[in-house]
Amino acid sequence: MKKCLTWILAISMAAAMLAGCSGSSSGSGNTTGSSTDSSKEKQVTMDMLWWTDGNETQVMQDLIDEYEELHPNITINLQEIAFDDLTTKLQMAIAGGEAPALSRGTESTVSRLGDAMVDFSDYVDTDVLQEEYIDSVDYLYKMGDKVSAVPTEVTANGMIYNKTAFEAADVEVPTGPDDIWTWDEFRDALQKVVDSGAVKYGMVIDNPSHRWATILYEFGGSLACETGGNLSSEESMNAINFTKQLYDDGLAVSSVWLSGEDPNNLFRSGQVAVHISGTWMIQNYEENIKDFEWGVTYMPVGTTRSSVPGGKNITAFKGTGCEQEAVDFIMWVTAKEQNERYCKECLYVSPRVDNANIEYPVRSEEFAIFADELANTVPAAGFDMGMPGYASIALLDLQNFWPEVLAGTMTPEEMAQQIDADTNEFMQENGYLS
């Protein structure tokens, strides 16, 4: 009984913090149909959970302020939280019947909590909505055929490099998509830069395994395929073994995986020649790197070219009493004009088809390279990331097992076999395998 009461108290506290919406009205917030401004009928206050990687909070707050001026009866409380806390807070609030009206999210949010999110088809024409977004981001906002969110920005993995170090080592960097290193050529280039003394390390890869997956796809591998787990395939093992050799040779920084060292700090300090990361780092490095020149070049090519698409979305939750008002705001803030402003000021790539040519205030050339990487993403990435709930499981496995491989307590083959077993179990349980 004591444990039960404690849990109830915890849920109640979470509900108090994350109450979705409040207000007075003669009408219901659960109306259906196309997205219209039904909010004129009542005064509504909505909570919106938000985390930030840069200046997104201020940009979103400015947009909210503008929306509130257009709709004086709407108040949106932007509540900034740590990304690591998002899922737990949402789960607790939903369990307590007090989900927030709105939240920023990722593909993981959709796959884990999609059942608690509104079905946008109850409020807008989702066939038209989907035509407004590039095909590779479907998994960011769909759960099966259900549209559960609307994407706000899209990211791509790529290669950020220390221009000053490469120039000091007299190593030329590819300048166009027809002049790309092979992975062997890339390894040789890193070795030359390190041997020159220009940097301490050749390369750092973010420890979220989403980034390493780019190498996996370029070698022709994948996490899964139509017949089940695919990490033990020859192509996937080639990617794993090549990566491990980079660490074994001291060209890649193992402390990021083994002790949680910050890869961003390592690159900003000028100790590393190359950082495999993503578009979200452009603003960070533009603001914080002052001691050397940096740029973006094309990922090396294996059997193919690829990236891994990612990004963020905004969603609304069921049972708040203001679902229509939440959808109205989402449709407004993700429309062409507002989305262009958001992506331009936050330095993000837009997922909207009609915002493909945004003029950024800085680093337009770098954004163009990332966009080219995204355009060359292989179907295998979409297959892996498109199975609701799968990516978070497989990528977490990689994140847990890679440190063991690098520490020598697990072989690459054992890692691949274990993840394949987990993949097969997931696909069997979710109807992907007969």
CATH of the domain at 150: 3.40.190.10
The reply to whether 5 falls in a domain is no
The reply to whether 372 falls in a domain is no
- 201 in Cβ contact with 259 (< 8 Å): no
Q: In terms of domains, do 44 and 115 share one?
A: yes
CA distance 386 to 395: 13
Can you tell me whether residue 310 is helix, strand or coil? strand
- 407 in Cβ contact with 415 (< 8 Å): no
CA distance 48 to 405: 40
Q: In terms of domains, do 283 and 318 share one?
A: no
Query: Which residue range(s) make up the domain with 391?
Result: 157-309+379-429
- 410 in Cβ contact with 404 (< 8 Å): yes
* pTM recorded for the entire structure: 0.75
The reply to whether 114 falls in a domain is yes
Identify the burial level of 252 via C-beta atoms within 10 angstroms of its C-beta, where 0-12 means exposed, 13-18 middle and 19 or more buried. buried
The reply to whether 8 falls in a domain is no
CA distance 288 to 268: 7
Q: In terms of domains, do 343 and 384 share one?
A: no
Instruction: Specify the residue for token string 């490095």.
Output: 285
Instruction: List C-alpha distances in Å: 329 to 44, 68, 76, 118, 323.
Output: 12, 10, 9, 14, 10
Tell me the Cα Rg of the chain: 23
CA distance 423 to 407: 24
HSE (CB half, 13 Å, CA atoms) of 256?
26
Mean pLDDT per 10-residue section of the chain, whose length is 434 residues = 37 45 43 42 92 90 98 97 92 95 91 92 96 84 90 92 98 93 97 97 89 95 96 98 96 93 95 94 90 96 90 95 97 98 90 88 88 85 81 88 96 98 94 86
- 363 in Cβ contact with 347 (< 8 Å): yes
Name the nearest CA neighbour of 406 among 225, 258, 199, 214.
258
Q: In terms of domains, do 104 and 252 share one?
A: no
> What pLDDT does 23 receive?
59
Q: In terms of domains, do 256 and 363 share one?
A: no
Amino acid making up residue 120:
F
Q: In terms of domains, do 171 and 122 share one?
A: no
> What pLDDT does 168 receive?
98
CA distance 424 to 74: 47
Provide the CA 20 distance to its chain's centre, in angstroms. 24
Q: In terms of domains, do 241 and 385 share one?
A: yes
CA distance 57 to 65: 12
Name the nearest CA neighbour of 365 among 204, 189, 175.
175
Q: In terms of domains, do 267 and 356 share one?
A: no
Query: Number of folded domains in the chain?
Result: 2
CA distance 45 to 151: 23
Q: In terms of domains, do 186 and 76 share one?
A: no
Amino acid making up residue 321:
G
CA distance 31 to 37: 11
The reply to whether 23 falls in a domain is no
Name the nearest CA neighbour of 257 among 113, 378, 379, 401.
401
Q: In terms of domains, do 161 and 283 share one?
A: yes
CA distance 367 to 353: 16
Q: In terms of domains, do 204 and 254 share one?
A: yes
The reply to whether 341 falls in a domain is yes
DSSP state of 321: S
- φ and ψ at residue 152, rounded to 5 degrees: -110, -35
Q: In terms of domains, do 215 and 89 share one?
A: no
The reply to whether 67 falls in a domain is yes
The reply to whether 45 falls in a domain is yes
Name the nearest CA neighbour of 198 among 168, 172, 170, 173.
168
